[in-house]
């Protein structure tokens, strides 16, 4: 089945046309002859923005999808793979592996892009998309043109812990449009800040693209803040297909932190979120994070944030 999406047009209308979506209680489901799964949710926000969650679903037939964004387009699309299933996309520059937590977990479709995706049958997928115009960016971000390079038709990035955490908040609040909108705006703010940081650094200069991919693969094992078992440097180096010395220097070059600092950042930011949003106590968090005693957690938190966790209560 061949599908061609025009990024300048409303995506929901195009999905309805191609996939014969049926609406049930605000959710859209694939026609049974085409596929099945948990449906798609869609919200439209002020300022020309659309937010999509393609829940876990599958196609019964292979889908050949071409997404086109004309050169003069004022629209952009952030496409995020939330499943462990790899999608293979083809552009004029070659093939792209698109998969959660790999270097390419998020794609930003810019003007002048044509990208082809082959979706095999009976493979479970889950995706989120944010479709927005220059009008949206002008409304909220004064300096966005210094961050988003419109001469690039495709920008990719990884779905780091902070972005993933905020994205899931947006996905789980889609029944409350105002709260969801706030979460999507938070995600966009973090995303633009990440792009801005990348434009000001040459951290990956000199790193082979395969090394970058392997470093991201190793970093996955450091991203679960409540995981009690953290791989050693030696084990991470094996995952990254590098020697220990090269791994340590390359990891710091790419991420700006040592593996320990990288993991500690994720754990402390998780702790702060749990304190503020869920109202957890320092004692509860010390257990969740595997500290041997609450005082050890308090010391680590103060060292990172410069304040006691009790100040967030």
Q: What DSSP string describes 67-94?
A: EEE-TT--EEEEEEE-SSS-EEEEETTE
The residue among 2, 27, 3, 33 whose CA lies nearest residue 15 is 3
Q: For 143, list phi and psi in degrees, rounded to 5.
A: -110, 25
Q: What is the distance of C-alpha 38 from the center of its chain?
A: 20
pLDDT tens series, the chain, 313 aa: 999 999 999 999 999 999 999 999 889 999 999 999 989 999 999 989 999 999 999 999 999 999 999 999 999 999 999 987 777 788 876 777 777 666 678 899 999 999 999 888 998 899 999 999 999 999 999 889 989 988 889 888 888 878 888 999 999 999 999 999 999 999 999 999 888 876 555 556 677 778 877 888 888 888 888 888 889 999 999 999 999 999 999 998 888 789 999 899 888 888 887 888 778 899 999 999 999 899 999 999 999 989 998 876 5
Count of alpha carbons within 13 angstroms of residue 245, beta-carbon side: 0
Q: What pLDDT is stored for residue 103 in this prediction?
A: 64
Q: What pLDDT is stored for residue 93 in this prediction?
A: 67
3-state class of 123 per DSSP?
coil
Residue 130 near residue 188 (C-beta atoms within 8 A): yes
Q: What pLDDT is stored for residue 297 in this prediction?
A: 93
Q: For 123, list phi and psi in degrees, rounded to 5.
A: -115, 125
Q: What pLDDT is stored for residue 162 in this prediction?
A: 83
List of domains in the chain: 2-199 (2.60.120.10), 209-312 (1.10.10.60)
74 vs 8: CA distance, rounded Å: 7
80 vs 104: CA distance, rounded Å: 9
The angle, 0 to 180 degrees and rounded to 10, between the axes of the packed helices 259-277 and 161-172 is 30
């Amino acid at each position: 089945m061949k599908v061609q999406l025009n990024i300048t047009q409303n995506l929901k209308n195009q999905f309805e046309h191609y996939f014969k979506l049926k609406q049930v209680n605000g959710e859209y489901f694939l026609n049974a002859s085409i596929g099945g799964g948990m449906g798609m949710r869609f919200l439209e926000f002020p300022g020309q923005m659309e937010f999509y969650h393609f829940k876990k679903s599958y196609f019964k037939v292979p889908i050949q999808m071409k997404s086109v964004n004309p050169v003069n387009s004022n629209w952009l699309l952030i496409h995020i793979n939330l499943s462990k299933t790899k999608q293979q996309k083809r552009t004029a520059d070659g093939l792209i592996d698109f998969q959660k937590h790999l270097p390419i977990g998020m794609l930003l479709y810019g003007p002048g892009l044509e990208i082809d995706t082959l979706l095999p049958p009976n493979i479970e997928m889950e995706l989120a998309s944010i479709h927005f115009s220059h009008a949206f960016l002008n409304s909220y971000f004064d300096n966005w043109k210094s961050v988003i390079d419109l001469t690039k038709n495709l920008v990719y990035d990884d779905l780091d812990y902070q972005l993933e955490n905020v994205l899931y908040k947006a996905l789980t609040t889609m029944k409350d449009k105002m709260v969801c909108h706030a979460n999507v705006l938070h995600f966009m703010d973090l995303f633009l800040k990440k792009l801005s940081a990348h434009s000001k650094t040459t951290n990956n200069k000199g790193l082979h693209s395969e090394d970058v991919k392997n470093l991201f693969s190793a970093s996955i094992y450091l991203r679960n803040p409540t995981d009690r078992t953290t791989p050693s440097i030696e084990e991470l180096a094996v995952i990254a297909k590098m020697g220990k010395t090269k791994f340590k220097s390359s990891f710091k070059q790419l991420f700006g932190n040592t593996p320990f600092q990288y993991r500690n950042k994720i754990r402390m930011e998780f702790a702060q979120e749990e304190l503020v949003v869920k109202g957890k106590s320092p004692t509860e968090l010390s257990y969740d994070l595997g500290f041997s005693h609450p005082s050890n957690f308090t010391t680590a938190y103060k060292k990172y944030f410069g304040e006691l966790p009790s100040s967030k209560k």
